[in-house]
Amino acid sequence: MKICALRLREVGGFDQPVQLEGLSGALDVLVGPNELGKSTLLRALRAVFFEQHKSTSVKNPKALLHNLRPHNGGAPLIEVDFELDARRWRLRKQFLSAKQAVLYDMDAGHVSARGDDADAAMRDLLAHHPGGKNLNGRLLWVGQRDALRVYAPDENEQASLRALIEAQVGDVTDGGGARAISQKVQARLDDLVTPKTQKPSGDYARALKDREALRRELEMAQAKADEAQDRLARLQELAAARRALDDPAAQAAREAHLDEASKALAAVQLARERSKAAQTNVEKCNLEQERATSKWSGYAGQLKELADLAAQHSTGAQQSKTLTKQARQSELAIKTAKAARDDLQRQLNAARAVLARYALVERLQQAKDQLSAGQTQYAKARTADDAMRVLRQELDQLGVTAALVDRVRQLTYELKSSDAQLNAAAPQVTISYSKDGAGKIRLNGTPLQDGVTLSPDARLVLDIDTVGSIAIEPGASNDLDELREDARAQREQLNACLAQMDVKDLAAGEAALRARRKIEEKIGVHNAALAMLAPEGLERLAQDVRQWADKVAKQDEATKAGTKAGTDTDADTRVVEKLLPEPPSPDNLPTLIARLDADWTASAEEYEQLGKVAAVQQSELAGLTAQLASQNQRLEALSAMVPAAPEERAQKRELLSAAQSNAERHTNRAERDLSDWRTKAGSEEAFALLQRQLRGAQEASERAAAEKQQIKLDMVEAQSALQALSQDGAPALVIELQEQLQRCETQIERFDQDVAALQLLKQSLDNAQSAVRDEFLGPVMANIRPYIDLILPGASLQIDDQLDVLALQRDVGTQPLDLLSAGTQEQIAVLVRLGFGRLAAQAGAPVPLILDDALVYSDDERIARAFSALALAANQHQVIILTCRATSFAPLGGHQLTLDRWNLDDTSV
Amino acid sequence: MAFVFLHSADWQLGKPFGGFDKEEQALLRRARLEAIDRLAEAAREAGAVHILVAGDVYDGDVSARVLAQPLDKMAAHRDIDWHLLPGNHDPARRSGIWDRVAELKPASNIIVHDQAKTVEAAPGVFILPAPLQSKTALSDPTAWMDDASTPDGALRIGLAHGSVRGFDSAGEAAVELSPTRDQSANLSYLALGDWHGKTRISSRVWYSGTPEPDRYKDNDPGYALIVRLAGAGAAPQVEPIKISAFSWFSRHLSLSRADDLSALEKEVADWGVARGQSLLQLDLSGAVSLADYAQIEARLARLSPRLFHLDCRLNGLHALAEDDDLAMIGEGAVQVAAKSLQKIANDNTDGRAPVAALALRQLFVMAQDVAGEKGGAS
């Protein structure tokens, strides 16, 4: 299709009818300023082709007619001349009021249709295509506001393009069916599984959760039901066991065995009891026999004892007499020994008393000597202390100290140093007279000697007779002032120190210090003597002297007391003098005492020994006396037991012998009985065997009874448990839960299958869509390619099956559209439409492409390339450029259009 | 001496119906409760004033509400004496459900036979009950009836719950009953429970079945028996009376196309309003096209809400994708995806054939939906 002319009246901002005539059908360019109404022209084209003339969609701001309403009132009238499939047509439509539509066949020269028929006829013209497919939108454009976005073709465009594509690649589209179904599948999947992890969700997840809960409940119920079944089986086992125990034959056999064992054991037990009785009888007979024997032997013993005792008593009486005599002799010897011992004791006491008095006198003398020496020591210590006190007073009066002397030394040195520096800084004036001039120079009226050198630290005036005077002043300096100040301070301190020591100068101070040290040495000597004489102090020494005096007094009193205590001192002395060949003294008394002490010890031991001998004799005598008395008693008792006459004694002896023989016979008979019963009772092993047999029979019987009782209890317990389990209704619950679980399993199985099927379906649809898209987009990409190579060399586009551009692929990588520059975006928008136009042209259905103020952001180089593309496209189909940029678009060339006033009378339909 | 009574059993009040949803469970339980009213009405119509329930009145240790409500209903029918026998679901154990019933002090027309002893229900008419003390019984609980003494000429009616030995009536209770007890115990009639279907064991021994079915098992449930005894030696006249509110059906259909469902649809339509009280277990098998499969699902979806419950099992029904099916699915990518799935469905080497077949069915349905939406939009 080609647009040949366009005419407008009462459309948008046009206050006058306008016309665009003479379009070439190739590259047509309308250059005009802003507000010229170029966009209105584009909208008018779209309206006249695609809007029903009776359309009322004017209130919608987005509707074409809304934007075409005349600003100054009226009804929009649009007329277009176009060529379609080599036939020329004129279409006129008036909207809003006085609505009309006329389709005029220009080649035939008559109206082809009017009104609704014209709308329908126009649709038919656009719909019919050499390929036989619908072609609803035979117009491509890039509008003014669309230039910055690479918009997808609208529904009409898409339909047209699809028809064109399928004319080349065959029937591959499904009208969006796959996409719609895929969305439905995804929606169903979203209801069942999570989008990312595909984990069950919603009802599916709830069913799985219910199943787990039901399984747990069923497991518990099944366990209870199984337990009930086990209990029932156990109950049946117990019933069978009880029946076996209740069998009469078995019970009779158990009882017969028990009776037999009981009888056998009873017979043996009787024999054992008789045997025990026989044993007792034997023991009794033995006892009787022992008694008879004892009586007989006792009587014989009595007779013998009587004879023996008589002989013993006679011997004892003789021994008693001898011992009595010996005891008297011992008493005399003891008396003698005691007298000797007492005499020695008296001598020893006298010697010890005399020696004690000698010791007291000696200790008194020693105390007196100690007191005398202490008094002498105290006097010397006192003298030293007094001398030391005097020396310390002298020392306290001396002002000089080592520290002061050291300070004076330091100050003297510093002062000398300061003076030396001042002298060095002072001018040196040396007087040197000529031959006749000696003495003529005076200082303060005093002539100065030849060779005198002066170092004035202050102003100095030398008078020279007949000549005048010379004033000498030391130089002024801050350092010199500080030095002088230091010297003055040092001198003041020095004088203060000297005054404190009460000396004139350093030499005097040092002499005074030496004198101080001599006094200190003396004090040291006295102090050492005092330390030796009274190491713990003078007062302590005085206290010791007083104690020693007290000691002498006490010792003296003790000596006097000791002398007085021995009132018979003379008697002691006389006793001692008799024992010594020379007068007693401290020297010979100890020897005497030692000798007397030894003699007394020997005498005492002799006395003690004699006492012991006498005691033994007394003891023996007492024992013998008691023995004789006892023998007398026994003799009297025995005499009472046995008959006095010998013939009577013999007769009694015979009787006792006969009784002994009789008892022996009884014993023999009892032992025979015992032997017989023991044989009948049998061995212990045999008896134990019988006992075991009986116990076994009893236990078998008891066991049977216990088992019956236990079975009874077990049956009660099992029945009780069974009832409790039945109360829970476990078997019925199992059935119910199994039903619920089965229902749940069925539901889950359905979910499983649904999910698996939906996932497979989704995958199949995705794969199919991908494959079809690749096939579908082939012609599109092929027709866009020449323009990409022109405008964006080396790049390629990603386009989806909705023909929407997704991204630009270049060497630097894939870039989403919205991240590209405005210029690149509008270039892509243009080249995509160029590709679509080329596609349509290749399909034999060329459509005009209208660019309304497009390519406004492109740089010079790109716009030049775009012009080349537009020129190339114009070879395939009509390209109409509406632009306000005359200069920029001048290189484009093409057929220049002008917008002129339209005189309606010039055209006819 | 003539005596008429109604024989029922296996009410199992409070049965949970775990395989159904909550609403269905509630309605099914409610129907069992309301069966009491229908039983009373049936008894009245037959001139009976005694209803013998041969065990399993309750389904187990039920809630207080389930326990009390039946008692109130029975009490409301004052002209009827209700003879209740503990069964294996509600055994007469210590501290069990019947002690709870006793604590509620049931009305005097409710007689609980929880002990094996003769009870004179009417002059000259003796009931010999065999209550179960637990879910299981080690010996035949009806054995005592042989030695039970009653006056000469009295009508002796046994009431028991369990399975009859030698007859294929394995019920739920692990209790075996002698099939000739009526003879050994000289019974005029032995009313049995546990086998949920109506069953004649002999002329004097019957299972009444449950008045309200609870499973798809086809054993003739939903009845009560009107028993007429003309005298001690006369054979009883037994008349089944339909009691159930719900009907349970089980059908198996082999399909080759969607229209094969028509017969079933007609049958259900013929049920009329009763279909709303019907439960249908439908087991489908065969092989149909995708379009037919979708149509079958759609027809079943339309059928389901007409029934009280439809348990449809499609595991045996296979969908075969034919060329026409694929053409209907769509063009382009949809067509490619459909062929891909068809290939997997026909080649089960990797075990994905069932999943692919289901995916293909889903694709078919969705494609139809999308087409419908587009058509609607245009």
pLDDT digits (tens, 9 = 90+) for A493-513: 999 999 988 889 888 999 989
Q: Which residues contact B91 (CB under 8 A, 6 or more apart)?
A: A723, A726, B131, B132, B133, B134, B135
Mean pLDDT throughout A319-344? 81
Q: Can you state the angle between helices B22-46 and B64-76, rounded to 10 degrees?
A: 20
| Of the candidates B84, B71, B8, the residue with the CA atom closest to the CA atom of residue B43 | B8
Residue type, A717: E
Higher-pLDDT residue of B44 and A221 is: B44
Interface of B with A in 56-115 (CB under 8 A): 59-61, 89, 91, 93-96
Question: What is d(CA A327, CA A618) in angstroms, rounded to the nearest whole number?
Answer: 7
Higher-pLDDT residue of A179 and A148 is: A179
CA end-to-end span of chain B, whole Å?
A: 83
Using CB atoms, pick whichever of B138, B356, B366 lies closest to residue A760: B356
Q: Which residue of B has its CA nearest to A769?
A: B333
Residue B371 at interface with chain A, using a CB cutoff of 8 Å: yes
Query: Exposed, middle or buried, A432 (CB in 10 Å: 0-12/13-18/19+)?
Result: exposed
| Of the candidates B282, B243, B215, the residue with the CA atom closest to the CA atom of residue B7 | B243
H/E run at residue A475: none
Interface of B with A in 131-150 (CB under 8 A): 133-136, 138
pLDDT of residue A908: 62
Quick check: A760 and B344 CB within 8 A?
yes
Quick check: A768 and B354 CB within 8 A?
no
Quick check: B133 and A765 CB within 8 A?
no
Mean pLDDT throughout A893-901? 89
Quick check: B18 and A740 CB within 8 A?
yes
pLDDT of residue A128: 62
Query: pLDDT category, B118, cuts 50, 70, 90?
Result: very high
Give the range among A114-123, A223-232, B262-271 with minimum mean pLDDT.
A223-232
Q: Which residues contact A433 (CB under 8 A, 6 or more apart)?
A: A439, A440, A441, A450
pLDDT(B250) > 80: yes
pLDDT of residue A719: 67
pLDDT of residue A158: 65
Mean pLDDT throughout A795-801? 82
Quick check: A181 and B336 CB within 8 A?
no
Higher-pLDDT residue of B135 and A387 is: A387
Mean pLDDT throughout A581-596? 87
Would you say B248 and B215 are in contact if contact means Cβ atoms under 8 Å apart? Answer: yes
Residue type, B55: G
pLDDT(A568) > 70: no
Quick check: B19 and A760 CB within 8 A?
no
Query: pLDDT category, A327, cuts 50, 70, 90?
Result: confident
Quick check: B330 and A722 CB within 8 A?
no
Share of residues in chain A with pLDDT > 70 (%): 91
Using CB atoms, pick whichever of B94, B340, B358 lies closest to residue A757: B358
pLDDT(B240) > 60: yes
| Of the candidates A84, A170, A307, the residue with the CA atom closest to the CA atom of residue A778 | A170
pLDDT of residue A174: 64
Q: Which residue of B has its CA nearest to A759?
A: B359
The partner residues of A30 in beta bridges, in order of sequence, read A882, A897
pLDDT of residue B270: 94
The token pair at A721 is: 């448990």
pLDDT of residue A350: 84
Q: Which residues contact B273 (CB under 8 A, 6 or more apart)?
A: none
Q: Which residues contact A430 (CB under 8 A, 6 or more apart)?
A: A451, A452, A453, A454
Predicted-complex ipTM score: 0.73
* CA B295, chain centre distance (Å): 31
| Of the candidates A33, A21, A22, A20, the residue with the CA atom closest to the CA atom of residue A886 | A33
Quick check: A722 and B134 CB within 8 A?
yes
Alpha helices in A566-588 (DSSP H): 569-579
Task: Output the CA–CA distances (angstroms, integers) from residue B272 to A771, B260, B265, B280, B306, in the order listed.
Answer: 54, 21, 11, 14, 10
Cα angle value A767/A201/A192 (rounded, 5°): 40
Report pTM.
0.49
Mean pLDDT throughout B248-263? 94
The token pair at A130 is: 């050499």
pLDDT of residue B330: 81
Our CA dihedral for A52, A55, A61, A62, rounded to 10 degrees, sits at: -30
Using CB atoms, pick whichever of A171, A723, A742 lies closest to residue B19: A742
Higher-pLDDT residue of B113 and A298 is: B113
pLDDT of residue A98: 86
pLDDT of residue B116: 95
Query: pLDDT category, A841, cuts 50, 70, 90?
Result: confident
Q: Can you state the angle between helices A538-565 and A248-397, rounded to 10 degrees?
A: 110
Question: What is d(CA A737, CA B193) in angstroms, rounded to the nearest whole number?
Answer: 24
pLDDT in tens, A8-17: 998 888 888 9
Per DSSP bridges, beta strands A453-454 and A460-464 are: unpaired
Using CB atoms, pick whichever of B16, B334, B358 lies closest to residue A174: B334
| Residues of A whose CB is below 8 A from B367 | 177, 181
Question: What is d(CA B335, CA A173) in angstroms, rounded to the nearest whole number?
Answer: 10
pLDDT(B173) > 70: no
Quick check: B363 and A740 CB within 8 A?
no
Grouping H, G, I as helix, E, B as strand and the rest as coil, residue A728 is coil
| Of the candidates A146, A39, A153, A140, the residue with the CA atom closest to the CA atom of residue A822 | A146
Using CB atoms, pick whichever of A177, A239, A719 lies closest to residue B370: A177
| Of the candidates B137, B207, B224, the residue with the CA atom closest to the CA atom of residue B168 | B207
Would you say A378 and A545 are in contact if contact means Cβ atoms under 8 Å apart? Answer: yes
Q: Which residue of A has its CA nearest to B59?
A: A732
Query: pLDDT category, B349, cuts 50, 70, 90?
Result: confident
Residue B344 at interface with chain A, using a CB cutoff of 8 Å: yes
Mean pLDDT throughout A566-573? 70
Residue type, B178: S
Question: What is d(CA B363, CA B326) in angstroms, rounded to the nearest whole number?
Answer: 10
Q: How many Cβ pairs closer than 8 A exist between chain A and B?
A: 141
Query: pLDDT category, B148, cuts 50, 70, 90?
Result: very high
pLDDT of residue B171: 55
Mean pLDDT throughout A188-199? 90
Question: What is d(CA B315, CA B286) in angstroms, rounded to the nearest whole number?
Answer: 10
Interface of B with A in 241-270 (CB under 8 A): none
Give the range among A197-211, A233-247, B77-91 with minimum mean pLDDT.
A233-247
Would you say A46 and A112 are in contact if contact means Cβ atoms under 8 Å apart? Answer: no
pLDDT(A604) > 80: yes
pLDDT of residue A134: 38
Q: Which residues contact B15 (CB under 8 A, 6 or more apart)?
A: B28, B29, B32, B59, B214
Would you say A20 and A866 are in contact if contact means Cβ atoms under 8 Å apart? Answer: no
Q: Which residue of B has its CA nearest to A172?
A: B332
Quick check: B134 and A726 CB within 8 A?
yes
Question: What is d(CA A691, CA A682) in angstroms, rounded to the nearest whole number?
Answer: 13
Give the range among A114-118, A773-777, A901-905, B204-208 with minimum mean pLDDT.
A773-777
Identity of the highest mean pLDDT range in A245-259, A309-323, A458-472, B292-306: B292-306
Q: What is the DSSP letter of A129?
A: -
pLDDT of residue A583: 85
pLDDT in tens, A122-144: 888 876 644 333 334 445 666 55
The partner residues of B176 in beta bridges, in order of sequence, read B163
pLDDT of residue A137: 45
Question: What is d(CA B303, CA B290) in angstroms, rounded to the nearest whole number?
Answer: 20
Interface of B with A in 301-330 (CB under 8 A): 330
Sheet hosting strand B81-84, strand order edge to edge: B110-112, B81-84, B50-53, B3-8, B223-229, B237-242
Helix, strand counts (H, E) of chain B: 9, 17
Identity of the highest mean pLDDT range in A633-642, B94-103, B259-268: B259-268
Mean pLDDT throughout A650-671? 82
Q: Is A530 left (phi over 0), alpha (psi -120 to 50) or beta?
A: alpha
Quick check: B337 and A767 CB within 8 A?
yes
Query: pLDDT category, A565, cuts 50, 70, 90?
Result: low
pLDDT of residue B167: 56
- Please provide the average confidence, as pLDDT, over all residues in chain A: 83
Task: Output the CA–CA distances (angstroms, integers) from residue A429 to A460, A462, A879, in the order listed.
Answer: 10, 10, 124
Question: What is d(CA A357, CA A560) in angstroms, rounded to the nearest whole number?
Answer: 10
Q: Which of A165, A169, A229, A726 to mutate to test the interface with B (most CBs of B within 10 A)?
A: A726
